[in-house]
Amino acid sequence: MQKPIIEIVDKIDTAVVYDELSDAASGGICVFVGTVRDFTNKEAVVSLEFESYKTMALSEMRKIADQASSKWPLNKVVIRHAVGLKKVQEAVVVVGVSAAHRTECFEACKFLIDTLKETVPIWKKEVFKNKTVWVSAHP
């Protein structure tokens, strides 16, 4: 596997992910993009604000990429999470892999996002019309 792309950024550009994952040896590319939705628990969302412990978050994201590459024969991995204020429909996280076959792509991509949500120290503030609530971004 080539060196994974692991980043905490201010803004996610989903248009670049395909090129980052493209590889002549890969017959499949799988990408998951998480975005801000407009309702949570029947309340209208105005925005979300993300914070992270960047050093630890990047370290945990690298561990996840390493775990995935030890479980599946991956060619490339991208894990990128945004921080700061995000509006409805804005991308906040993208994970992706490329591999020779689709099965590995789907399984590894699901593993990346599920494990990121469980282990990476990122928090979000949910901003509603009448209140704000700090929660783990990935319960």
Domains by residue range for the chain, with CATH: 5-131 (3.90.1170.40)
Q: What is the arithmetic mean of pLDDT over 10-17?
A: 96
Comparing CA positions, the residue from 115, 96, 113 lying closest to residue 28 is 96
Q: What is the arithmetic mean of pLDDT over 33-55?
A: 94
Model confidence at 20: pLDDT above 80: yes
In 3-state terms, what secondary structure has residue 44? strand
pLDDT band at 137 (very low <50, low <70, confident <90, very high): low
Token pair in block for residue 6 = 């692991």
Token pair in block for residue 9 = 């950024």
Model confidence at 139: pLDDT above 50: no
Q: Are 73 and 100 in contact (CB under 8 A)?
A: yes
| Radius of gyration, CA atoms only, the chain | 15
Q: What is the arithmetic mean of pLDDT over 23-42?
A: 95
